[in-house]
Amino acid sequence: MIKSNVIKRKAIRVFFAILPYWQVQKQLMRNIEILEPICRGRKIKMQHLHLTLLFLGDVPTNQIHALRQIAKTISADKFEFKLDTIGYWRHNHIIYIQARNFPTELFSLADSLKIALSKDGFVFDNRAYKPHITLFRKAFQFVNTDLIKPIQWYVDQWFLIQSKPTNNGVEYIPLGHWNLN
Ligand code: ATP
Ligand code: MG
């Protein structure tokens, strides 16, 4: 028997995101309930609702400390926005909610993270950042509507999250959080 001497480095799937607090979660869930009979996709569970800032994908566990150290150096301002529009992406069958006007501070935070991590050798695809919160996956019904009651979201911190596969779908595990100024 040949013994492989290749050391398999463990990697975990991670992303940076902002997470809704209880009032925002509740309102998002209310919208999901209203939309469910119309769009019949797979609804996102409350504990999975998030807005991705930057997706990293698989990162070796021995680099997670470096990720946290870099995150610590980011200085960005608090912001708020109104989630007011529901839309559908045909290419990936996702129904999402977004703001017609996301604040510049959100884009600055996402940009700063990308720049700081790139300097440290992390690589990303060059797709434009499209902030959104996924509400349904595998939806095959076009939905495009404005919310009668927009959802106000005040953001004062952001997170590093592990997306861990389990027998019961993914589990999101916060690995760190940082405050905005
Ligand atoms: P599942 O893929 O099992 O349905 P999930 O999509 O919730 O679960 P991940 O695939 O780990 O979990 O994704 C975590 C977050 O990162 C989601 O917001 C997802 O849309 C986003 N994401 C995943 N892959 C990419 C990618 N290649 N580029 C940008 N964002 C991504
Ligand atoms: Mg996914």
Q: Write the pLDDT tens digit of every residue in 49-95.
A: 999 999 999 999 999 999 999 999 999 999 999 999 999 999 999 99
Task: Confirm if 160 and 174 have CB atoms less than 8 A apart.
Answer: yes
Residues in the chain: 181
* Residues 82, 152 contacting (CB under 8 angstroms): yes
List, for residues 129-175, the tens digit of each pLDDT value.
999 999 999 998 888 899 999 999 999 999 999 999 999 999 999 99
Mean pLDDT score across all residues of the chain = 93
Reading the block at residue 71, the tokens are 């995150």
177 is a catalytic site residue? no
Q: Is the pLDDT of residue 6 over 70?
A: no
pTM of structure: 0.93
Residue 32 has pLDDT above 60, yes or no: yes
Residue owning the nearest CA to atom 23 of ligand 1: 55
The domain 12-179 belongs to what CATH superfamily?
A: Cyclic phosphodiesterase (3.90.1140.10)
* Ligand 1 neighbours (beta carbon < 6 A): 13, 15, 48, 52, 55, 137, 163, 170
Residues 6 or more apart whose CB falls under 8 angstroms from that of 109 comprise: 53, 74, 76, 158, 180
Rg (CA), the chain: 18
d(CA 48, CA 50): 6
Ligand nearest to the CA of 132: 1
Residue 132 falls in the annotated catalytic set: yes
Q: What is the pLDDT of residue 63?
A: 96
